[in-house]
Amino acid sequence: MANSFTKPPIDRAQILQAAATLGVLASGAASGPRMMAALCDPAISTAAVAALIEKEPTMVARVLRVANSSYYGQPRGIRTLERALQLLGLDAVRGIAAATCLDRGLVRESVTVLIEPRTLTLHSLATAAAAEALARARHPEVAPEAFIASLLHNLGIPVQVQVDRAGVEAMLAARAAQDTRALLTLEAEHARVGHAECMAVVYESWQLPESLVAATRYHHAPLSAPAAHQVLAAFVYLGGAVALACGYTYGLEPVAVTPAPEVLQLLGLEVAALEAVREALPGRVAALIEALLS
């Protein structure tokens, strides 16, 4: 079978064209990507956030639903956007915008024929919940970014399917033949571009902070990330490992993986900490589904 060494690599322009075809590069003022970029501006005011959200009624409805959900521990009966924003805070609203981006990136038939969207969505939600919980225990300052980066860490897979369908098909065939090697190993053998690189390029086009770009680009190899972003990338990596161990798998990652000891050492975590998060994960995922997707 031909592999990536016999085919030209995929360049940035091709990745962006594939993302545009999927609708991931939506350019409207109230689109998920535009909203994500604006919300990552540390100088943005609550009034500016409200004005941005009000341009898209579906976002208003989603923010109110989250404000009344159990995931964020808020009381029921919140009816105004202003009150919802006061209770949730900017970090939670960033997560809601990220969920909007996730929704819109997983709906095209060209993707769903190969990768069942619900399994990919559940894996992403579980990774986000696990990464956030781990970060709050050791590095709470990066917990909000860990949630967002993890929620969107696999949105590069639909882009990869769009731009290199044959490569993804070859990887799925390897999985069907019980090939349990690491996903990066399969990508090096079969794909013309990695899913993490696809999403990092999209993040750059969204003009998101470099920390999110790096966490996405290196979420399978966090120790290869620039030193300033290794911790965030490591939480996404471990969140994914916990999600897989809890059964939130999908076609390209069908089994649990053993976390690299050096990544645990970087974060000062013991395996027992991962187990504690794993035990609580189904409940957290159920609450996230209620908050973000129901």
CA separation for the pair 222, 136 (Å, rounded): 18
Residue 57 lies in a domain: no
Other C-beta atoms closer than 10 Å to the C-beta of 287 total 17
Domain membership flag for residue 165: yes
In the chain, how many domains are there?
A: 1
Whether 261 is covered by a domain: the verdict is yes
CATH number, domain with residue 281: 1.10.3210.10
The pTM of this model reads 0.86
pLDDT exceeds cutoff 90 at 190: yes
Asked if residue 201 belongs to a domain, the reply is: yes
> Has residue 244 been placed in a domain?
yes
* 38 located within any domain: no
Q: What is the residue range of 122's domain?
A: 4-25+109-293
Tens-place pLDDT, residues 227-243: 999 999 999 999 999 99
Whether 88 is in a domain gets the answer: no
> What is the C-alpha to C-alpha distance for residues 108 and 117, in angstroms, rounded to an integer?
9
Give the model's pLDDT for residue 105.
60
pLDDT surpasses 60 at 248: yes
On whether the CB atoms of residues 172 and 114 are closer than 8 A, the answer is yes
Q: pLDDT band for 142, please (50, 70, 90 cuts).
A: very high
Residue 82 lies in a domain: no
Is residue 100 within 8 A of residue 123, CB to CB? The reply is: no
pLDDT band at 273 (very low <50, low <70, confident <90, very high): very high
